[in-house]
Structure 1
């Protein structure tokens, strides 16, 4: 019976017959690989001691598991997902990440069967499926199911935020993910110019549920998309409790590196009940968490008290309203700029809204502009006042409300998807066809920096150019964004997450 004991699929046949092939036939093996998508998956090369629960755990992060058939003698199994879409997602994921059962790599492909017809009298299989169904519905798994699921995945998730138009804080992540279990530790960092985080749950089942529910979701409307994978780590080592990392089980940890520490009473409350402070956090966190918990796209509340920024430590010999408009315009639509008359190393910048102000502050605070490290904070002012009629303020105040150079005035613009921190590599677009690499290298060299690398895109309308430093790239962006290349074609310049 080819290892089939008390469960069968239709007529009791061998696994190779079930999947439309036989051993030793290359042509038929090819047909197996090319089987059309099906919600039934064929899993091969399982270790001898693999349990049904461990096989089910492979599918659990991708959707509901509705049936299973194990073929012990052949080290194979068939797994039926609730939908074909879930099966496709599972196969696509395991095409790039090799699945393991008991540290043994296994192989997954579509089956030629569209459903499994198993013997309903197999109480063991039905009990396992019911237990897993309870887990997927938010119930408590039995000890054997718990052990198998724990062996199949890590309690640590790796989170990447794509299209990060608004800032995502450690507290926002804690609020969103705590809906699926107790969040123990979080570490945030930037890698390859992308905001990332490692987040550890108290058990792997919660991590699986969170991945299933949140992967691909947007924290805010049309932006801040969560990309979630399991980490190879099983435990995070957090040294400091600050705005970059936190261990909710150890409120006594120091802040370190001059970072503000979390209040010990707040940390203790988090460690006891991860949901207890939902309403007490700022509106940004609470709104984001509520939206994620409801399983829908959300626009979180205001990021700060106003959309006005105070920028200080400017190079007063070099800075102009236009240079500030161009640089801060990378992160939002600048409405007004005012360089302070009695303190010309400081300026007020009014963005379209508070979220854009928060985004600009998070990316530009501490960056170098004209040789000086600028400081960016939220201002107590609600608007930037224009000079009274007839009063000459020496051109220190500019109104850009009707500027044609706003990057984000069109809803759904692709510019929302390409917002990155300042970097040495710049993305160029709207390049005329007759402009050469040498022309662009010379143009960017004339801004006072050194061009380290250059690459045209295939259509030659876009390119990447890498300067020696982030400061040089920032200077080049200020000088050359909207530069007239002739024929009324204006160059578009933005920071890139890519390297050449």
Structure 2
């Protein structure tokens, strides 16, 4: 693969004297980082073996211009940066120094506390949060809530390494514009570690989700778009149109999972959410389509 076939930079970034290096050899050591970077200036701090695969690192130069010099050199060079023959991708970090003294919110854990700045609670759906964070590993659970600090989410990963990888990549970034409503200008993610290790999710809803338990009860009033029937002029129940279908599953010949239902109902349009639950001794499911589906 040539150096031009994979972008060196994923974001338009503000220069920092701390550089974020990706695609390093596993268990890359500090001396190897210093060897790569020292032609461009003095290295004052490093942080190795970051991320789920321990193949990322941070390097802090003594001076901002030294970091800019390194980034500029490899951005225009036909020869990529390499360690042990592996191409290394370099970008500016959103941090301006490497701090090794860890405050409580910096002690790595498997649950992240994410504050989404610049939005109201309804502006960013739980599905968008899941999409953004699941790029770094399997997301077990998400709980969203509103605090004095703003709209926040707790996101549970399998382990601290995966959570660390997500935090290092996303802290200080913005959710991609195309995933946000038109009226939202920009929203920044502020991410720290939570003291929680296992979130207690009691219902699947638009505010909380457990992706490990498809049989968790659904709170019907909390799923967006679910409407209750009303009484028509003739005294009979009148079903309101809704973008959420309620399906009763009878005579199951095989296990019906969220994936199975998603496959079946995707034949009729884009399925946004599927939730399975037990009610009155039977199995039911809610299938949500986009709001304008009907």
Bigger helix share:
1
Report the TM-score when normalising by structure 1.
0.28
Bigger strand share:
2
Report the TM-score when normalising by structure 2.
0.44
Task: Name which structure has the greater RCO, CA cutoff 8 Å, separation 6+.
Answer: 2
Q: Which structure has the bigger radius of gyration?
A: 1
